[in-house]
Amino acid sequence: MQLSSSQIQEFEDRGLLFFPSLLPAAQVAELQETLPELLRRPGPEVVREKNQPDAARLVFGPHHYDDAFRRLSLTSRLLDPVQQLLGEDIYLHQSRLNPKSGFGHGESWAWHQDYPPWHTIDGMPQPRCIMASVFLDDCTTVNSPLLVLPGSHRHGLLSSHLHQDAAGRGYELHHLDTETLRQLAHQHGIEPLIGPAGSVAFVHCNLVHGSANNVSPWRRAIAYLIYNAVSNACTKTERPWYQNERDFSPLRPLPETSC
């Protein structure tokens, strides 16, 4: 898929490009089938919800141990646009799955940017990193869609603090303070990312985003594949393999038929 110059401009302006139903239905079905097993994994790569210890909050690194996710990470439908937007070879810094289970089991995500922990802990030099957000379920207005502030990435790294619930729980999350959020929301507005399973949003790593508790009965799983420019490879190795990839080899897409 070749992006047009207006799509590239849109990404620069909004920090966001959205493609409804980008993935074939068969590939989405295959990814959905693997979810229950991934959510049951016992390892440290699965972070549990604070108030629902049986519910997975995040599954890190599925492309390392699940073949459907490995092939997803190498599909040209994701690699080509990211490579074009970053203008060079890319590798996968991190993959993670947020199942966001229904009935309140999938808890909220406070407003944040994703880049701070990659910069401060993993040593990623620049925010030249894009999060391909792959909808594994239909994302609607009622099952706690991802909420974004389009254009907020243009402010660069905003001041934030480490969320106390996140520290030591297997992931790091830097919350924005309420005044910063108020100003940004007035300036940029807030949009829900809505679309059928198989839709993909390409999101700049400094775009402010968050989500509410999923009190609906419907799961709202999204897989996040975080691609980084090879020339922007991380310099630190504090975090484990499932959060901070050590192999910076440029990715090459699989033929369409093997995805």
Ligand X SMILES: O=C(O)CCC(=O)C(=O)O
Of 153 and 209, which CB lies nearer to ligand X in the complex structure? 209
Of 55 and 222, which CB lies nearer to ligand X in the complex structure? 222
Least separation in angstroms between residue 9's CB and ligand X is 25
Q: Which residues bind ligand X (CB under 6 A)?
A: 98, 100, 109, 114, 146, 209, 211, 222, 224
Beta-bridge partner residues of 147? 192, 210
Of 9 and 51, which CB lies nearer to ligand X in the complex structure? 51
Of 41 and 231, which CB lies nearer to ligand X in the complex structure? 41
SS3 sequence, 210-233? EECCCCCCCCCCEEEEEEEEHHHC
Least separation in angstroms between residue 21's CB and ligand X is 19
Least separation in angstroms between residue 133's CB and ligand X is 8
Q: Cα(34)–Cα(59) distance, rounded to whole angstroms?
A: 12
Q: Cα(57)–Cα(214) distance, rounded to whole angstroms?
A: 12
Q: Cα(217)–Cα(86) distance, rounded to whole angstroms?
A: 38
Least separation in angstroms between residue 54's CB and ligand X is 19
Q: CB under 8 Å to 154, separation ≥6 — which residues?
A: 15
